[in-house]
Amino acid sequence: MSNVNITINDKPVSAAQGCTILEAATSSGIRIPTLCFLKGLVPHANCRICVVEVEGSRTFQPACATKVSEGMVIHTDSPAVRQSRKNTLELLLSRHSVDCHHCLRIGSSKCDDLDPTFCEMCFFCDCVREGICELQALAREYKVDILPYKLQPELYSIDLSTECIVRNPNKCIKCRRCVDVCTNVQTVHALSIVNRGSDIQVMPSMGKPLAESPCVQCGRCVQVCPTGAIHGLDKKDELIYHTHSYTTTTIAQVSDDVLDELAKLSKMKRSELDICHIVAGLKKIGVDYVVNEEVALSRGQAMAAQCLAENAATCERPIIITSSHAAAQFVNRYFPSLSGNVFSYDSAQQQFGKLVRENWSQEIKLEPSKKIYTISVTSNNDNKGEATKNGSVDFVINARELYRIFLRTGVNLKKIKKVDPDIFGVAVELAPPMMRLLAPVVWEIGSSVEEMDVTVGGLTLKAVVGKTLGHARQLLEQVKNETSPYQIIKISA
């Protein structure tokens, strides 16, 4: 693949043939703002924020979807393009609930009045995204102070039917990330885009409440939504109340999976942040005990290892294992004939809840008069659905929510003195191949299944790990058609 020579903002750039303007700009260190674009998904180019001027074209071109060609001359930040982006933002914000646009504390909407660091600490703002909203960030950047249109009142009701994933259509900018993820990556087909023109809405299947649609509460839509249109049910206030209270005992388990996002949000290098910072922060806000997930995770994995040891060799059909609540629901909904083949083992969260209730309350001599609240800190949003359904833990907090809690309570991760986590119980040791098979999965758009050989009871068995529900569907179709080459299939959401 040869390169092509293009010019971006009067700077000569050599770009790989077939790449988009956005890719070429990013690799040359030139930033083009985006909103609907999400790496791994086919670009829709519907937000028109990434539009750029291409000499020779009367209309602006979307950088995320336009491929470079030899001699292309591009301007990413001309006054005309900036004006276009501002116009688009004005249009989007005019039909968006504006509780985020007007700072109640200062009493101003003018971006110049808002000091970024000050604003981020303010918690009077009603929006659930509280300053981590991609739309709000762009509005600030392009100084969208005045909305020149008739603001529409809240047109749609909020969908709380699942009790863990909340849909607020009044904040939706119809970027379609959630629909794409639900349809193409997760293949759940719970979300869709309906109607036409300004009536279009992102809605669960056939307009039903989310709980009545095929939704399995995998929480990936929450992960990709750029605004506060789909988010996890917010229980931060309740959590802080209990951590501060003297009449309760609170115990938290922190998963390693929050570290990446938490570091990014706190503007720290990943190498500068480890779990001991989080432990210190949580203890500072009154959490009595904080553990890492090693013990609980390993005990859950041991359950799986035992099941495999007992069944894998003798089973005629592949054994399907999962610690994901959403994945188990997915099987029940779409592959009911295979439900009997699925062994659900405890996730780290589920084990943690059990351990606190059954084992640790004696071990750490928790006062019986005090109510115990369990907090699971994890970025895997699937856990929210599981806790809501099964009541395994009382609170599930992801990286974003943890960041907001620390900001509100004045915890500064950059300066706090590290504290080691408490240790209760002993982790179970597993053989390395089993560790590899049962390791927590990182959900990523565009990932592939991972094949491996696993030795169980002296036999080497073919195993595969699916990392998305789309993989799960693929793998389960094979089992249904009796064409599966695997003996062990691990699925996750």
Instruction: Give min distance, CB of 65 to another protein, in A.
Output: 5
Q: Which amino acid would we find at residue 10? A: D
Q: What is the CA radius of gyration of the chain?
A: 24
Instruction: Give min distance, CB of 364 to another protein, in A.
Output: 48
Selection from 281, 280, 288 nearest residue 243 by Cα: 288
Instruction: Give min distance, CB of 224 to another protein, in A.
Output: 18
Q: Do 255 and 282 form a contact (C-beta atoms < 8 A)?
A: no
Selection from 270, 231, 186 nearest residue 444 by Cα: 186
Instruction: Give min distance, CB of 31 to another protein, in A.
Output: 19
Q: Is the alpha carbon torsion for 280, 282, 285, 288 positive or negative?
A: negative
Decide whether 44 or 404 has the Cβ nearer to another protein: 44
Decide whether 158 or 200 has the Cβ nearer to another protein: 200
Decide whether 151 or 439 has the Cβ nearer to another protein: 151
Other C-beta atoms closer than 10 Å to the C-beta of 64 total 24
Strands in 395-397's sheet, in edge-to-edge order, are 289-292, 248-254, 371-377, 395-397
Other C-beta atoms closer than 10 Å to the C-beta of 180 total 22
Three-state secondary structure call for residue 462 = strand
Decide whether 311 or 478 has the Cβ nearer to another protein: 478
Selection from 128, 136, 132, 325 nearest residue 233 by Cα: 128
Instruction: Give min distance, CB of 37 to another protein, in A.
Output: 13
Decide whether 45 or 290 has the Cβ nearer to another protein: 45
Instruction: Give min distance, CB of 171 to another protein, in A.
Output: 14
Instruction: Give min distance, CB of 383 to another protein, in A.
Output: 25
CA 447 to chain centre: 15
Instruction: Give min distance, CB of 137 to another protein, in A.
Output: 16
Decide whether 48 or 370 has the Cβ nearer to another protein: 48
Q: What is the DSSP letter of 151?
A: P
Instruction: Give min distance, CB of 411 to another protein, in A.
Output: 38
Decide whether 135 or 441 has the Cβ nearer to another protein: 135
CA distance 5 to 482: 52
Decide whether 45 or 321 has the Cβ nearer to another protein: 45
Instruction: Give min distance, CB of 26 to another protein, in A.
Output: 19
Integer angstrom CA distances of residue 370 from 238, 251, 362, 367, 409: 17, 12, 13, 6, 24
Decide whether 8 or 47 has the Cβ nearer to another protein: 47
Per-residue DSSP letters for 28-80? TT-----SS--TTSPP---S--SEEEETT-SS-EETTTPBP-TT-EEESS-HH
* Residue 402, H or E segment: helix 399-409
Decide whether 229 or 396 has the Cβ nearer to another protein: 229
Three-state secondary structure call for residue 349 = helix
Instruction: Give min distance, CB of 221 to another protein, in A.
Output: 13
Decide whether 7 or 78 has the Cβ nearer to another protein: 78
Selection from 80, 233, 250 nearest residue 159 by Cα: 233
Pairing of strands 450-456, 459-465: antiparallel
Instruction: Give min distance, CB of 216 to another protein, in A.
Output: 14
Q: H helices within 212-370, ranges in order?
A: 220-224, 236-244, 259-265, 275-284, 294-311, 325-334, 348-355, 361-363
Decide whether 35 or 119 has the Cβ nearer to another protein: 35
Integer angstrom CA distances of residue 383 from 278, 364, 389, 465, 492: 19, 26, 10, 19, 12
CA distance 276 to 41: 35
- The site for another protein (CB under 8 A) is made up of 43-48, 51, 58-60, 65, 67, 80, 83-84, 87-88, 91-92, 94-95, 148-150, 173-174, 183, 189-200, 204-207, 213-214
Instruction: Give min distance, CB of 100 to another protein, in A.
Output: 18
Decide whether 81 or 387 has the Cβ nearer to another protein: 81
User: What angle, 0 to 180 degrees and rounded to 10, lies between the N-to-C axes of helices 275-284 and 399-409?
Assistant: 50
